[in-house]
Amino acid sequence: MAESQGLTLTVLGSGTMGIAIMGGVMATLAESRMRENLPSSSAPKDTAPEQLPAKFIACDMRIEAEETVKKALGHYNFPLTTLTNNNTEGTKKADIILLACKPQGFKDILGAEGMRDALKGKLLVSILAGVTQKQIEDFLYPDGLPEGGCRVVRVMPNTASFVRESMSVIQTSTPPLSDQQHKLVTWIFNSIGRTVSLPPASMDACTALCGSGPAFFALMLEAAADGAVAMGLPRAEAQMMAAQVMRGTTGLVLNGEHPAILKDKVSTPGGCTIGGLLVLEEGTVRGNIAKAVREATVVASQLGQGVQNVNGTRR
Ligand SMILES: NC(=O)c1ccc[n+]([C@@H]2O[C@H](COP(=O)([O-])OP(=O)(O)OC[C@H]3O[C@@H](n4cnc5c(N)ncnc54)[C@H](OP(=O)(O)O)[C@@H]3O)[C@@H](O)[C@H]2O)c1
């Protein structure tokens, strides 16, 4: 278990997300090291746990993944071990385990010989879309959580983890995680963006808003660029400009500006902005975007029950 040099973080499934999350953690550790080396450190006080990850074990089933992981993360110079087809060994050596395989793969991994023993007393963080904490716990412990069993935590990050701009939702646990466990999970996911904690009943809506959200916003961004291209702007510039405008807008909102006030502020009487806004309202864009989130929420709830290819709220 944990020793003074820091914790061992093991990732089961070193694909896109596994690498992005390990990369975010390593980058954050490297940044805080640099801050500590500043002559008069202006490092912000944070809510870091007492112990942070310091060693990493990346497990996968393909030998090629070892090279990919080393290429992506080797330059951070943290102790990094890669294992192929050896999830149990990686889990034995871990303090905290990130489950990052495909959703349908968790039973193969967690059902392997020796895995339940290897997991004893540890924290297992699952980012599997559509797989509930209860499904994992019921699979591991069909007779109920034993004394000293592992704690399972569900977190939903999104694809922007890659650029450390994820919106990750940490599902609240019952009974609650210890203070240190909660701080550790929050710290890990803060290293790839922002976090919020919400109860299990909110996870389908979170999957829709945060998981599907990048696709929704990408469509809006692309449509805005299309309009500018139609009016003569070059495609590459139009796309970059649309993306920067979206980023600037989100920056203002995250800085405390209310979206409705922001909209009113830039709508000069008789001006071009109010003209464009009214076209959007005529097209019921607002209602349709909200409906898209509701539809995705309903479909997400069905996926959690193993039902695929369904419609949600729409007929
Ligand atoms: N991508 C996203 O934006 C996103 C957002 C939120 C949540 N998630 C969730 O995150 C998880 C990972 O997604 P991803 O996009 O990173 O998928 P991915 O790139 O396919 O990564 C999954 C990795 O797990 C490996 N794997 C499969 N079976 C394994 C086993 N038995 N032991 C060890 N490794 C195994 C895969 O190897 P092979 O390639 O050989 O199969 C692959 O390298 C999924 O459950 C997904 O629902 C993803």
Provide the 10 A C-beta neighbour count for residue 311. Answer: 10
Spatial strand order in the sheet of 96-99: 80-84, 53-60, 7-12, 96-99, 123-126, 151-156, 166-171, 193-198
From the CA of 128, give the closest atom in ligand 1: 45
The pick from 91, 101, 106, 135 for probing ligand 1's pocket by mutation, whose C-beta has the most ligand atoms within 8 angstroms, reads: 101
Q: What pLDDT is recorded for position 3?
A: 42
Considering only CA atoms, which residue is closest to atom 2 of ligand 1?
Answer: 159
Which residue numbers belong to the known binding site for NADP(+)?
12-17, 40, 100-103
pLDDT digits (tens, 9 = 90+) for 173-214: 988 999 999 999 999 999 999 999 999 999 999 999 999 999
Query: How far apart are the CA of 133 and the centre of ligand 1, in A?
Result: 17
Return the percentage of the chain with pLDDT > 90, whole number. Answer: 84
173 plus 227 within the same structural domain: no
Task: Give the Å distances, CA to CA, from 223 to 91, 227, 315.
Answer: 46, 6, 25
Return the biggest CA–CA distance within the chain: 71
Give residue for tokens 């699979």. Answer: 139
Catalogue the E-assigned strands of the chain: 7-12, 53-60, 80-84, 96-99, 123-126, 151-156, 166-171, 193-198
Query: How far apart are the CA of 104 and the centre of ligand 1, in A?
Result: 10
Considering only CA atoms, which residue is closest to atom 30 of ligand 1?
Answer: 61
Please compute the mean of the pLDDT values over residues 64-71 and round it to a whole number. Answer: 98
129 plus 275 within the same structural domain: no
The answer, yes or no, to whether residue 67 has pLDDT greater than 60, is yes
54 plus 171 within the same structural domain: yes
CATH number where 222 lies:
1.10.3730.10
Q: What pLDDT is recorded for position 2?
A: 41
The answer, yes or no, to whether residue 70 has pLDDT greater than 80, is yes
Contact 95 CB / ligand 1 (< 6 Å): no
156 plus 212 within the same structural domain: no
The token pair at 30 is 């490297």
Examine residue 62 and state whether it is found in any structural domain, yes or no.
yes
The C-alpha atoms of residue 204 and residue 25 are separated, in whole angstroms, by 26
Contact 214 CB / ligand 1 (< 6 Å): no
181 plus 239 within the same structural domain: no
Kindly write down the DSSP assignment for every residue of 21-44, as one continuous string.
HHHHHHHHHHHHHHHHTSTT--PP
Examine residue 1 and state whether it is found in any structural domain, yes or no.
no
Query: How far apart are the CA of 158 and the centre of ligand 1, in A?
Result: 13
The token pair at 193 is 């963006």
The C-alpha atoms of residue 165 and residue 172 are separated, in whole angstroms, by 21
Query: How far apart are the CA of 30 and the centre of ligand 1, in A?
Result: 25
Q: What pLDDT is recorded for position 304?
A: 63
Return the percentage of the chain with pLDDT > 70, whole number. Answer: 92
Q: Average the pLDDT over each of 8-17, 67-76, 108-117, 139-148 and give the range with the smallest value.
A: 139-148
